[in-house]
Structure 1
Amino acid sequence: MTGSANPLTIGILGAGNIGRPLGRHWLAAGHRVTFGSRDPGRLVSFVEPLGDRARAATCAEAVEASDVVLLSVPHPALGELLDELEGRLAGKIVIDATSPIGVSDDGLFVSLLGPGSTQGSWAAERLPGSSVARAFTHFPDELLWSRGTRQRHFWGMGIASDDSAARRVTETLVHDAGFVPVHLGGLSESAAVDPGGALFGYVSTAAGLRAAAGLSG
Structure 2
Amino acid sequence: MSSFRIAILGAGPIGSTLGSKWTKAGHNVAFGVKDPASERAQRLREESSASVFIGSPAESLAKGDIVLLATPGHTVEELVRTHAQLLDHKLIIDATNQLTKGKTAAEGKWSAQEPLNSLATLQTYAPHAQIYRAFNSYAWEAFADPIYQGIQADLFYCGPEGDTQTIIEQLIGEISLHPVWLGGLDQIEVVDNILRLWATLALFQDKGRNNIAFKVLHR
Tell whether the structures are fold-level matches, with TM greater than 0.5: yes
Q: Secondary structure at the match of 1:60?
A: helix
Cα root mean square deviation, aligned: 2.8
Alignment of 1:8 with 2:8, yes or no, is no
Deviation at 1:123, TM superposition (A): 4.4
- Using structure 1 for the length normalisation, give the TM-score: 0.80
The residue type paired with residue 7 of structure 1 is S
Decide whether aligned partners of structure 1 residues 52 and 129 sit closer, same or farther in structure 2, where only a CA change above 3 A counts. Answer: same
The residue type paired with residue 94 of structure 1 is I
- The whole-number CA distance in structure 1 between the counterparts of 2:196 and 2:47 is 38
More deviation, 28-37/198-207: 198-207
- The whole-number CA distance in structure 2 between the counterparts of 1:141 and 1:196 is 15
Question: Is there any run of 5+ residues in structure 2 with no aligned partner, and where?
Answer: 202-211
Name the residue aligned to 1:207.
Answer: 216
- The whole-number CA distance in structure 2 between the counterparts of 1:110 and 1:190 is 19
Name the residue aligned to 1:211.
Answer: none
Could you report, residue by residue, the CA deviation over 1:121-159 in whole angstroms, capped at 9, with x for unpaired residues?
4244232121100110101223321226x9897111111
- The whole-number CA distance in structure 1 between the counterparts of 2:25 and 2:150 is 12
**What pairs with 1:87-166 in structure 2 (closer than 5 Å)?**
87-101=85-99, 108-109=109-110, 111-114=112-115, 119=117, 121-126=119-124, 127-147=126-146, 154-166=152-164
Question: Is there any run of 5+ residues in structure 1 with no aligned partner, and where?
Answer: 209-215
Q: Is the 8 A contact 1:72 1:98 kept in 2?
A: yes
Decide whether aligned partners of structure 1 residues 161 and 90 sit closer, same or farther in structure 2, where only a CA change above 3 A counts. Answer: same
Could you report, residue by residue, the CA deviation over 1:17-54 in whole angstroms, capped at 9, with x for unpaired residues?
21010011101111111111011123133224422321
Q: Secondary structure at the match of 1:133?
A: strand
Q: Secondary structure at the match of 1:18?
A: helix
Deviation at 1:85, TM superposition (A): 0.9
The residue type paired with residue 207 of structure 1 is V
Q: Is the 8 A contact 2:53 2:60 kept in 1?
A: no
Q: Secondary structure at the match of 1:158?
A: strand
Q: Is the 8 A contact 2:155 2:180 kept in 1?
A: yes
Could you report, residue by residue, the CA deviation over 1:49-83 in whole angstroms, capped at 9, with x for unpaired residues?
42232120100111110010000000000000001
Name the residue aligned to 2:36.
Answer: 40
Choose the corresponding residue for 1:69, options 62, 67, 70.
67
- Using structure 2 for the length normalisation, give the TM-score: 0.79
Q: Secondary structure at the match of 1:193?
A: helix
Choose the corresponding residue for 1:81, options 79, 82, 94.
79
